[in-house]
Structure 1
Amino acid sequence: MHAALDLFDVPLDADERDYALVGPGDNRVHENRTERFPYNTICHLGRDFGDNLWRGCSGALIGPRRVLTAAHCLYSLRLRRPPVRVRVAPGRADRDRFPFGTLLAAEGYVPRRFIEARSAAERQANDYGLLVLPRPFPGISRFLPVRVPTDEELKQLKAGAPLTVAGYPADRPVGSLWRHSERLSRFTPQRLLYTVDTCPGHSGSPVWATLAGRPAVVGIHTSGILDERGRSYGCAKGTVLAPPGMLNSGVRVTANVAANLRDPRRVVQGRSPMIRVL
């Protein structure tokens, strides 16, 4: 059943195509150890917008029933609505292998400021989301912790410690997990910028680093750069790699982001920062 539905893994929105392979080469690595930590926590997300076609995104288990992803994976800006269902498959190995099975998400949340954003910068800063599962996946008991990195820790990452992005790009065989690691190029109070190679389907992938000797999620991969014809660099036939110096980027985990992920129903000054969309 899964394989047949996945024949229709196709992009829906333009904002899901702004990812790039940054030159001089495509350095992504196929990860086949999907039953081992931390790769067993990386999730392939299938989103059905009501037409019975699964459209891919990525995510990560950050708790027994919580899946971190990008807001634009859970809410289509073009359609102005969420998918009718989201299928979660941690540690998916290929088209046919789902080592831990699949679950349909019971709830989904995105920041209010993502949907109601008044600028592209505001929307980019709030492009993160959370899925809540009906029950835990058997066999997975360790999860990638979410950590709020300090400026000093991020400076250390710039100096040499790598960032890793792992997810399910649409330009590779259906259901295959790919990762790449590079140094952090720069950061702002709300964004992380890097030359890690990504393509459509990587949206929502965790951006993790080793801090204090342990892997931790410090960001959520969301966006990148397009060529002059509006295509993802290097991700489709007829495109070239992005010139060196161009950067992909993601949402930086801040104290506010971490608080919203811990409790998406929390209320601040009489209003919830997160909106339930599923």
Structure 2
Amino acid sequence: MRLLTLAKAAFGLMLATAPAAADEALRALVTGDQGRGWEAVGRVDLGNEAFCTGALIAPDLVLTAAHCLFSSRSGAMIGTDQISFLAGWRNGSAIAYRGARRAVVPAGYRYGDSDRIDRIEGDIALIELDQPIRLPTVMPFAMAALPRAGTDVGVVSYARDREGVPSLQSLCQVLERAGEVLMLSCEADFGASGAPVFVLRGGVPSIVSVVSAMADAEGRKVSLAVSVAGVAALRAVLDADRGSTGSAGSGGQMAATTGAKFVRP
């Protein structure tokens, strides 16, 4: 964990609210042919404040980073009426547009702990869409366990100065693993928060983690990503709440007894 320890000195959240440098290793997926197979990755728009990246893991569920759901100005959770998902967003249009019905983050997550590296372990969220996306060209991704150090991975993301098309960085590697956090050689930019990190198994991409922050380790630009292991618990919270009488009320956030925070319209 030597690099992860050194990376504690400098890392930042990656909502698209600040300029970012171009990354020559990124390949823009400008055409439909180039983006084939990645249509379930989309841009998560957060009102007029920022955007992140997300990916479908079910027809009605988008996986992203927890900090994306908080206002950088007020520190409060963003209302779901301000959240939208643009599947396959490219050159001014999306394959599907959806609003958000509910969003959930782990109960232990604290947006105010953004300067702490252990915050990354809980930096994962699910957005339930107001309508499922059921299109033959938009297939939700499966998930897989965290890979070992040295494994090749890829990231598909949107970011500042390249918010109009998704970009693929396929020449990444897992540098280290510490618990549920990976350090990657990918140079992530602002807006790449929530971007899915993939491994290819049998030629099929599976999501193993979600990009959370960019960092500096021994002068090397790296990115930090969190495991998708917590997704099952968040899905269970959504399922349980779906059958309840709605104790969360008409707005704001809720600390659920099953271990999550909700945000609703």
Identity rate of aligned residues, in percent?
21
1:15 alignment counterpart: 13
Q: CA deviation at 1:67?
A: 0.1
2:102 alignment counterpart: 107
2:179 alignment counterpart: 189
Of residues 153, 157, 167 in structure 2, which corresponds to 1:178?
167
Structure 1, unpaired ranges of 5+: 1-13, 227-241
**Distance of 1:55 and 1:145 partners within structure 2:** 27
1:252 alignment counterpart: 227
Q: CA deviation at 1:211?
A: 3.2
- The count of residues paired between Structure 1 and Structure 2 equals 230
Q: Per the alignment, in what secondary structure is the counterpart of residue 259 of structure 1?
A: helix
Q: CA deviation at 1:244?
A: 6.4
CA contact (8 A) 1:171 1:199 kept: no
Query: 1:254-273 alignment to 2 at 5 Å?
Result: 254=229, 257-265=230-238, 271-273=257-259
Letter in 2 for 1:277: V
2:191 alignment counterpart: 201
**Distance of 1:138 and 1:247 partners within structure 2:** 35
**Distance of 1:264 and 1:29 partners within structure 2:** 37
1:210 alignment counterpart: 200
Structure 2, unpaired ranges of 5+: 1-11, 241-255
**Pair 1:144-2:134 in alignment:** no
Q: Per the alignment, in what secondary structure is the counterpart of residue 264 of structure 1?
A: helix
CA distance 1:123–1:19, shift in 2 (3 Å) = farther
Query: 1:25-36 alignment to 2 at 5 Å?
Result: 26-34=24-32
CA contact (8 A) 1:38 1:143 kept: no
Structure 2 length-normalised TM: 0.76
CA distance 1:219–1:179, shift in 2 (3 Å) = same
**Distance of 1:116 and 1:76 partners within structure 2:** 9
Q: Per the alignment, in what secondary structure is the counterpart of residue 130 of structure 1?
A: strand
CA contact (8 A) 2:187 2:222 kept: no
**Distance of 1:191 and 1:105 partners within structure 2:** 27
CA contact (8 A) 1:20 1:198 kept: no
**Distance of 1:205 and 1:214 partners within structure 2:** 17
1:44 alignment counterpart: 43
CA contact (8 A) 2:102 2:128 kept: yes
CA distance 1:207–1:79, shift in 2 (3 Å) = same
**Distance of 1:116 and 1:92 partners within structure 2:** 27
CA distance 1:123–1:76, shift in 2 (3 Å) = farther
Higher strand share: 2
CA distance 1:70–1:59, shift in 2 (3 Å) = same
Letter in 2 for 1:272: T
Structure 1 length-normalised TM: 0.73
Structure 1, residues 81-100: CA drift from partner, whole Å, max 9, x if none?
12231011010112x222x2
